[in-house]
């Protein structure tokens, strides 16, 4: 199980206790949205049928192809980035390429590097209408049709909401393989749906264990709520307007970006919200940490470290680096919470990501905003 150390959060028990009514109310909202099924991310770790279907389709993909190109953006890509980086199986032979932006140079580079005869495209979009993703799909489909002709349909897997959007229209018209994103699961809360699960199964990640860890976080989310309360109070009463996510371990490199999207897009509303900043230890001890310690006192840091194996000198040094930075921050008036991962396996990562989704939803309820919508993001989409 992941463990939390709140001893350097610099909040008095009395301040936490004074918020107990609001905390109880926010927890009751979480319970209601979970039990009523109104908010779908809670149920994803328990979807056995999806697990089996992902396995069946992935088996065929792994057998037929060398490359899997995922086209998607925002909530439809960053969770996969984080988990594929952290859990990449050493014996995996399927190359995974994730393309978010319609940058012509990157797209051309991919098309030059791969053999489309041996390539599967998994296009992922909840709305089925996001311009970057649908344009990328058109581009890749043109190239694919040129190369494999009528057989192009066997190379495409579509992950999108049912009965809605351009992509679902394509599924129906061309009878493509389709994974559904449930209507009540929002983009940045969708990593445990087929959005993450299918491509992760394709590269050989043990998704059953991943969901087991996520389910553990659903069953016990006291620490998620406590951490949300701490972040809320530090922001509201102590001017901590920046939430730094500092991870120790190269496998966690993409986790910070996933957290940044979740925290910013869920909570940045109605003039409220904390700006997330992802960074890495120990590298950023030699750059950004100067600012954390001696710059404006506007930050709360979450440190994430991996418990070292006994006798693992490098792992022990990583842990000392993390502890030292937390201590130096504390002494400089920069509060922090430290999360320790027992190891870098599927269960632990499942628990870590689900804990942060719950923390985010809970904090949104404490703030009195809707953590699940993204009206400003939709505004930009309309201008394109
Ligand atoms: O979290 C969100 O809702 C967004 O980041 C979306 O995931 C992003 O805008 C992409 O949307 P879609 O999955 O509809 O293509």
Q: What confidence tier does 383 reach under pLDDT thresholds 50, 70, 90? A: confident
Q: Please indicate whether residue 187, judged by its CB atom, sits closer than 6 Å to ligand 1.
A: yes
pLDDT of 384 strictly over 90: no
Residue owning the nearest CA to atom 15 of ligand 1 = 125
Higher-confidence residue of 351 and 378: namely 351
CA distance 320 to 305: 10
Q: Please indicate whether residue 266, judged by its CB atom, sits closer than 6 Å to ligand 1.
A: no
Q: Under a CB-based contact definition with an 8 Å cutoff, are residues 343 and 307 in contact?
A: yes
Token pair for 127: 């709305």
pLDDT of 10 strictly over 90: yes
Backbone angles phi, psi at 333, to 5 degrees: 80, 20
> In 3-state terms, what secondary structure has residue 275?
strand
pLDDT of 331 strictly over 90: yes
Residue-wise pLDDT tens digits, 96-140: 999 999 999 999 999 999 999 999 999 999 999 999 999 999 999
CA distance 134 to 138: 6
How much distance in Å is there from the Cα of 266 to the middle of ligand 1? 12
| Mean local confidence (pLDDT), 372-379 | 91
pLDDT of 378 strictly over 90: no
| Mean local confidence (pLDDT), 23-34 | 98
Instruction: Check 265, 346, 347, 351 and give the catalytic one.
Output: 265
Q: Domains of the chain: which residue ranges?
A: 3-34+213-368, 41-205
Residue owning the nearest CA to atom 3 of ligand 1 = 187
Q: Please indicate whether residue 81, judged by its CB atom, sits closer than 6 Å to ligand 1.
A: no
Specify the pLDDT at position 50.
97
Q: Under a CB-based contact definition with an 8 Å cutoff, are residues 27 and 225 in contact?
A: yes
| Mean local confidence (pLDDT), 70-96 | 97
Q: What is the mean pLDDT of the chain?
A: 97
CA-based R_g, the chain, Å = 21
| Mean local confidence (pLDDT), 316-332 | 98
Nearest CA-CA partner of 257 in 83, 11, 13, 63: 83
Q: What confidence tier does 307 reach under pLDDT thresholds 50, 70, 90? A: very high
Residue-wise pLDDT tens digits, 190-240: 999 999 999 999 999 999 999 999 999 999 999 999 999 999 999 999 999
Q: Please indicate whether residue 371, judged by its CB atom, sits closer than 6 Å to ligand 1.
A: no
- DSSP 8-state assignment for residue 246: E
Token pair for 350: 């499942």
Q: Which CATH superfamily is domain 41-205 in?
A: Glucose-6-phosphate isomerase like protein; domain 1 (3.40.50.10490)
User: Which ligand 1 atom lies nearest to the CA of residue 127?
Assistant: 14
Q: Please indicate whether residue 186, judged by its CB atom, sits closer than 6 Å to ligand 1.
A: yes
Distance, first Cα to last Cα, the chain: 44
Specify the pLDDT at position 382.
85
Contacts of 29 (CB under 8 A, 6+ apart): 365
> pTM value?
0.97
Specify the pLDDT at position 266.
98
Q: Is 381 noted as a catalytic residue in this protein?
A: yes
Residue-wise pLDDT tens digits, 131-149: 999 999 999 999 999 999 9
Class of domain 3-34+213-368: alpha beta
Q: Under a CB-based contact definition with an 8 Å cutoff, are residues 168 and 161 in contact?
A: yes
Residue-wise pLDDT tens digits, 233-286: 999 999 999 999 999 999 999 999 999 999 999 999 999 999 999 999 999 999
Specify the pLDDT at position 127.
95
């Amino acid at each position: 199980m992941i463990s939390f150390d709140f001893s350097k959060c610099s909040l008095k028990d009395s301040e936490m206790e004074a918020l107990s009514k609001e905390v109880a109310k926010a927890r009751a909202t979480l319970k209601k949205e979970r039990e009523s099924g109104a908010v779908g991310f809670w149920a994803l770790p328990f979807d056995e049928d999806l697990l089996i279907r992902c396995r069946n389709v992935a088996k065929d993909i792994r057998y037929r192809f060398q490359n899997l190109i995922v086209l998607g953006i925002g909530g439809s890509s960053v969770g996969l980035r984080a988990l594929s980086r952290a859990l990449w199986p050493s014996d995996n032979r399927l190359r995974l390429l994730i393309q978010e932006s319609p940058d012509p140079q990157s797209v051309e580079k991919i098309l030059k590097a791969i053999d489309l005869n041996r390539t599967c495209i998994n296009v992922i979009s909840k709305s089925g209408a996001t311009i970057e993703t649908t344009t990328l799909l058109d581009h890749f489909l043109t190239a694919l049709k040129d190369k494999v002709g009528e057989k192009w349909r066997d190379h495409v897997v579509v992950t999108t909401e049912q009965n809605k959007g351009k992509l679902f229209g394509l599924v129906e018209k061309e009878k493509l393989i389709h994974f559904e994103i449930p209507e009540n699961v929002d983009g940045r809360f969708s990593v445990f749906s087929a959005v993450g699960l299918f491509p992760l199964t394709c590269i050989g990640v043990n998704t059953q264990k991943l969901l087991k860890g996520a389910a553990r976080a659903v069953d016990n989310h006291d620490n998620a709520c406590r951490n949300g309360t701490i972040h809320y109070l530090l922001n509201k009463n102590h001017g901590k307007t920046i939430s730094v996510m500092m991870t120790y371990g190269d496998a966690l490199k993409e986790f910070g970006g996933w957290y940044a999207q979740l925290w910013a897009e869920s909570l940045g509303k109605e003039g409220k919200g904390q700006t997330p900043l992802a960074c890495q230890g120990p590298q950023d001890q030699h750059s950004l940490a100067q600012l954390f310690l001696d710059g404006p006192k506007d930050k709360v840091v979450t440190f994430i470290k991996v418990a070292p194996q006994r006798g693992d000198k490098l792992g022990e040094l990583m842990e000392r680096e993390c502890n030292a930075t937390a201590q130096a921050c504390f002494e400089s008036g920069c509060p922090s919470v430290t999360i320790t991962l027992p190891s870098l396996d599927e269960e632990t990562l499942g628990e870590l990501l689900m804990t942060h989704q719950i923390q985010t939803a809970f904090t949104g309820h404490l703030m009195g905003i809707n953590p699940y919508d993204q009206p400003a993001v939709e505004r930009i989409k309309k201008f394109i």
